Amino acid sequence: AYTERDVAKAEDVRLRDEEVDQMYTGLFRELLTYMMEDPKTITTCTHLLFVAKNVERMGDHITNVAEQVHFMVSGERAADVRPKGDRSSFTVVEPEAPETGAS
């Protein structure tokens, strides 16, 4: 989008940011579940959480560039405010209830 000064490509990049956010939120939930199920995975999963968060932030920065390209080429701001899809701060993973034996 940037090198070609292409508003359509910039808009496509901007709209795909939500997809990146959804992938991050799903991975966040999955890694939390692994850590709860097996505490031995906490170190590895924590490293993966940092990697995933940094990839999500890269997506946000790329989206910012796409919005700047849109303005640079068209002279207008993007039509709407992009949604913030990163919902990881609202994620709650409930531990499974312990099994009770039949009496």
Least Cα distance to 86 among 67, 58, 66 occurs for 58
Cβ atoms of 70 and 78 closer than 8 Å? yes
Question: Which sequence spans correspond to the domains of the chain?
Answer: 7-90
pLDDT at 21 over 60: yes
CA dihedral (86, 25, 2, 12) positive or negative: negative
User: What DSSP character marks residue 66?
Assistant: H
Structure tokens at 102: 């039949």
pLDDT digits (tens, 9 = 90+) for 68-102: 898 888 888 877 655 555 555 556 556 666 566 55
Q: Which strand (E) or helix (H) includes residue 30?
A: helix 7-37
pLDDT score recorded for residue 58: 96
Share of the chain above pLDDT 70, in %: 76
Q: Which CATH superfamily is domain 7-90 in?
A: Phosphate transport system protein phou homolog 2; domain 2 (1.20.58.220)
